[in-house]
Amino acid sequence: MIESNDYGFCWTEIDIDVIRNNLIKIREKVSNDTKVMAVIKSDAYGHGMERISQIISNEGLADALAVSNLEEGLKLRRIGTGLPVLILENIFSEQIPQIIQYELIPSVFSIYFAENLNREAKLKGIKQKIHIKVNTGYESSGVDVEKCVDFIRRVNELENLEIEGIFTHLVSAYDNKKSLVYKQLELLNNLLSEIKKMQINIPIVHVANSPAILAYPESHYDMVRVGTLMYGLSLPFIDTEHEFSQAMELKARINSINDFRQGKMFGYNCKDYICSEKTFATVSIGYYNAPFLLFSDHLDVLIRGKRAPVFGKARMGSLIADITEIKDAKVGDEVVIFGKQFFESITPKEISQRINIGVTRCDSICFLGNGTKKIYKE
């Protein structure tokens, strides 16, 4: 627990050593020949893209990085990472000059985009690396697997493009739907066989996401993509908490403490009714800082190592915790929204279950507002 107010009203504590150890454990799960791509899209799942990418790059914890869009890729290049950076989602043709200038790798699943990219690469006198994204049946983007042989043949004929990689998103692995997982892998393997017959060499095949890394070693291929596990967040059907640690904790402070009599009503529209004598703490965090707190009336927080139920709905910049049973609570005390305090803990998984967004969405709990300061621990 902190003893001063140096961290402000609310903050996240992100343990770099935890992320480092999680990545080391991922390395141990794959063969020595299998590369690791660290997914740091969406500000590294809320953990801070700049700091996380620097650690990964400087310490050689991954072989490549993946982001969602051009803007994230440009940010990485401005930070100074020299690792290969794959852009996972769609890129517009007007962004092609920046792709080439900053040596980023686009995902390609449109022949129109591929031809424009080839034209620009020819003007610059370079061979542009690309990865082809294949839709094996459960994604909204990518080349349909049935059309992919012809697509790859056409792209391979574009002289200034180099097909460095091919990948698909193993969506079914998140629900452990084994028959669908193996169907996706079968479709991809059939495609790879056809590519081999055409004598087209694609050196990197990457399929496995976090759950597939653990549950489906046959999906590892040449490279795995790790996001959720790297940050120690929960997976729907695999118990990872004993092996992979959670890197982020969200904390705030008690602003004020007040006693309320039975029968009092307060809050917006006076909807919150007090059934008995209560002591409430006002906590310095609201849904501006953490959007999931819009559903805060289903949650607990930790104060002095004990659970305190949240009373009513969070405000934009504060929430109310029932501390009637926590007699020694004081103004300025640390409040843990998720994380550990003494022998008690609250995880993003618990929060996601309580607010009914599903465990596959528990990473969204880490997507916090700009009013939340990041504190890095090593």
- Per-residue pLDDT band for 2 (boundaries 50, 70, 90) equals very low
Name which of 184, 62, 206 is nearest 132 in CA terms. 206
- Per-residue pLDDT band for 213 (boundaries 50, 70, 90) equals very high
> Which stretches of the chain are assigned E, i.e. beta strand?
10-15, 35-39, 64-67, 85-87, 105-108, 128-135, 143-144, 161-168, 204-206, 223-226, 248-260, 265-266, 272-273, 278-283, 300-303, 306-309, 319-322, 334-341, 344-346, 373-377
- The residue with tokens 């997914």 is 39
State yes or no: pLDDT of 138 exceeds 80.
no
Name which of 92, 106, 35 is nearest 64 in CA terms. 35
Residue of 291 and 267 predicted with greater confidence: 291
Residues with active-site annotation: 41, 268
Which amino acid type is present at position 257? Answer: I
**Domain-wise residue ranges, the chain:** 16-231, 248-346
pLDDT mean across residues, the chain? 92
Sign of the C-alpha dihedral computed for residues 22, 172, 218 and 36 taken in this order: negative
Same fold for the pair 16-231 and 248-346: no
When pLDDT is averaged across residues 122-147 and rounded to a whole number, the result is: 93
State yes or no: pLDDT of 258 exceeds 90.
no
Q: Which CATH architecture has domain 248-346?
A: Beta Barrel (2.40)
- pTM of the predicted model as reported, rounded to 2 decimal places: 0.92
Please spell the DSSP secondary structure of 242-288, one letter per residue: TTS---EEEEEEEEEEEEE-TT-EESGGG-EE--S-EEEEEES--TT
Q: Which CATH architecture has domain 16-231?
A: Alpha-Beta Barrel (3.20)
The predicted structure's pLDDT at residue 271: 57
The predicted structure's pLDDT at residue 3: 46
- pLDDT tens by residue, 42-80: 999 999 999 999 999 999 999 999 999 999 999 999 999
d(CA 141, CA 87): 13
- Per-residue pLDDT band for 131 (boundaries 50, 70, 90) equals very high
